[in-house]
Amino acid sequence: MLYNFIKELHFAYPFVFGLFLLLPLLIGRYVRKKNRGEAAFIISTAAAFNIHSWKNRFRHLPFIIRLLTLSCLILALARPQKLFTDKKTEGEGIDIILCMDVSGSMGSQDIPPSRMEVAKEVAEDFVRNRPVDRIGLVIFSGESFSQCPLTTDHATLIQQIRSLESRTLLKDGTVIGEGLATAVDRLQQSTAKSKVIILITDGKEDAPDTRLIDPLTALEITKAKGIKVYTIGMGAVPTNISEVKKPQKQNPDINFIDVALLQKIADETGGKYFRAKDKKSLEETYQQINQLEKSKVEVITHHRAEERFIPFVLAALALLFLEIFLRFTVFRKFP
């Protein structure tokens, strides 16, 4: 408790500590006065004076207490305080939906420890760097799901991002169109001047029979709502579907990215397509989006101080009374 009290102290007038230089002068004066004020006489032996009482051993105690009293007064004059800093972030934010692919292929380890873990980690950092934006989360694989609505409660959103896993309870597959449409739906009621979707996937449209909206229809809806989409193709292996000329049996951990589709979605909505082959390139992608979509942020800082000189004044008074008591009782001198 005492350690924390001292650790938190800030002195408004540190120059007052120069008064501590007076203490050595007082000590020197005390020693000289003590030597001059005591009588001296010559004897043949001092053996009889080798017996020391407790009063003799502690005869300097009143002077030591006086030095402590002065030290407490100096500390009080230095105006000890505990500082408090309150920060309030205000500004005009952007409404953003993170639309993330959570299909089984996102568990691929070509970007260690896995595409999913890296995507979650970088998305988490992105959320932290957007303090005034409302951000939501939509996930998709064989169907889409709104994981978190638009919110400024970024702590809750980060928890939702951390809980994501590839091969979720959603149907298997990749429905980019439905993921995009769900993200657009989350922005329907938004009144923000700027509305953005960041769509990240490692594959192509691979829809089950239950699909309701195809990617091109979702694109038209997005354009009609005036929403900008940034698309990210994630994966370390060369995965451009347009380059595949012959049908082949794919490794289940490899999913071909439909670059043409992602490029089209980004271009026609005023966004941009990015390719992320590793964690560093994904981080750079989010940094570029940060620069392209700037929010107006104002941080207001308030400083206040709580005075802490009273304990030192009380300690000085207590020590002063103790010195007076000892000097006129236990260590009282008679002429």
Burial (CB count within 10 angstroms: exposed 0-12, middle 13-18, buried 19+), residue 258? buried
- Residue 245: what pLDDT? 43
Find the range with the poorest average confidence among 153-162, 210-219, 242-251, 256-265. Answer: 242-251
CA distance 197 to 271: 9
CA distances from 189 to 95, 186, 219, 270 (A): 11, 7, 18, 21
- The Cα 105–Cα 253 span in angstroms is 5
Q: Which pLDDT score, from 0 to 100, does residue 304 have?
A: 83
What is residue 99's predicted lDDT score, i.e. its pLDDT? Answer: 97
Q: Is 63 exposed, middle or buried (0-12, 13-18, 19+ CB in 10 A)?
A: middle
Is the pLDDT score of 220 beyond 90?
yes
Q: Is the Cβ–Cβ distance between 199 and 233 less than 8 Å?
A: no
Find the mean pLDDT for residues 98-116. 92
Most confident of 37-51, 76-90, 228-242, 245-259: 76-90
Q: Which of 189-198, 235-244, 321-330 has the lowest mean pLDDT?
A: 235-244
Radius of gyration of the chain (CA): 37
Beta bridge partners, 83, equal 305
Q: Quickly list H helices, 163-278.
A: 176-186, 215-224, 259-269
Instruction: Report CA-CA distances (Å) from 115 to 67, 97, 119, 297.
Output: 67, 19, 6, 32
Task: Among 33-37, 84-88, 179-183, 218-222, name the one with the lowest average pLDDT.
Answer: 33-37
> Does 113 sit behind a cis peptide bond, omega within 30 degrees of 0 on the bond before it?
yes
Cross-sheet strand order for the sheet of 95-101: 144-151, 134-140, 95-101, 195-201, 228-234, 273-276
| 3-state DSSP assignment of residue 75 | helix
pLDDT in tens, 25-39: 999 988 888 766 555
CA geometry: angle 100, 105, 111, nearest 5 deg: 85
pLDDT range class, residue 285, cuts 50, 70, 90: very high
Best mean pLDDT range from 5-14, 231-240, 315-324:
315-324
Gap between the Cα atoms of 119 and 115, Å rounded:
6
Q: pLDDT digit string (tens) for 70-91?
A: 999 999 999 999 888 776 666 6
Residue 40 is predicted with a pLDDT of 58
Residue-range domains of the chain with CATH: 2-40+53-84+303-328 (no CATH), 94-294 (3.40.50.410)
